[in-house]
Amino acid sequence: MARKKEPERVGINRTKIMSSAQALFLQKGTEQTKMEDIAAQAGICKATLYTYYPNKTAVLSDIALEGMKYLQQILTEKTDPRDSVHDNFIHLCRAMTQFREKFPVGFEMLLQNIGVEEAQLQADPALQETYDTGEQVNEQLIRVFTGAFPGQNRQQMVTILLQFWAEITGLILLAYNKESYIRKSCRQSRTEFLDDGFERLYQQLQAESVKS
């Protein structure tokens, strides 16, 4: 009789597989990465990999889910409705930077189109959990930033959040992709460039708040 995998070992192996897959996806791209590449990078046989993930899409789904859970965790730790809007906005920006650092593939996946239709969510438990966690993150951010936009309903707040989400993630991606150019032309480190950018985005947030 086959011995059941211990839960702790399962968790360790999944983490190793996701870490290995992320490294390959960044190096080769998701399309060019094969399941056997992931197995080799993780130091396991292909058959073992398939006991955890039936295909590459499932690996990507797990990366997106774990990334979203991590983002939710650090946002919970760093933002507080009792703090100023400025402090919470900067905490949000830095949390997003941490997210990009730890889950670079998951970070970019969240900027892509994902299934949100009921049939799609029901067919993919990981997608459903990712979607649910994302909605919980949105609720956290709405609670934090409602004070900056009094009188806005939930739908309007979600629109505002998505727009600022796009600007924050775009700035972070630029800072990582153009780090050498920023260092040479702006005489700034990536962190300095991002801190300046986050403050400028906050000024924009204030201007939008006044208009609303």
Neighbours of 186 (CB within 10 A): 12
Helix (H/G/I), strand (E/B), else coil: 150: coil
Mean pLDDT, contiguous 10-residue spans, the chain (212 residues): 49 85 92 94 92 91 90 90 88 93 88 79 85 88 80 86 90 96 96 97 83 66
Q: What is the pLDDT of residue 183?
A: 96
With beta carbons less than 8 A apart as the criterion, state whether 68 and 134 touch.
yes
Q: What is the pLDDT of residue 3?
A: 46
Task: Name which of 125, 110, 94, 63 is nearest 198 in CA terms.
Answer: 94
Q: What is the pLDDT of residue 126?
A: 82
Helix (H/G/I), strand (E/B), else coil: 92: helix
Q: What is the pLDDT of residue 212?
A: 62
With beta carbons less than 8 A apart as the criterion, state whether 35 and 50 touch.
yes
Q: What is the pLDDT of residue 82?
A: 85
Token pair of 64, please? Answer: 């997106």
Q: What is the pLDDT of residue 106?
A: 87
Q: What is the pLDDT of residue 2?
A: 44
CA quadruple 27, 67, 197, 190: dihedral positive or negative?
A: negative
Q: What is the pLDDT of residue 195?
A: 97
With beta carbons less than 8 A apart as the criterion, state whether 198 and 178 touch.
no
Q: DSSP labels for 24-75?
A: HHHHH-TTT--HHHHHHHHTS-HHHHHHH-SSHHHHHHHHHHHHHHHHHHHH
Q: What is the dihedral of CA 1, 14, 126, 57, to 10 degrees?
A: -100
Q: What is the pLDDT of residue 6?
A: 53
Q: What is the pLDDT of residue 11?
A: 62
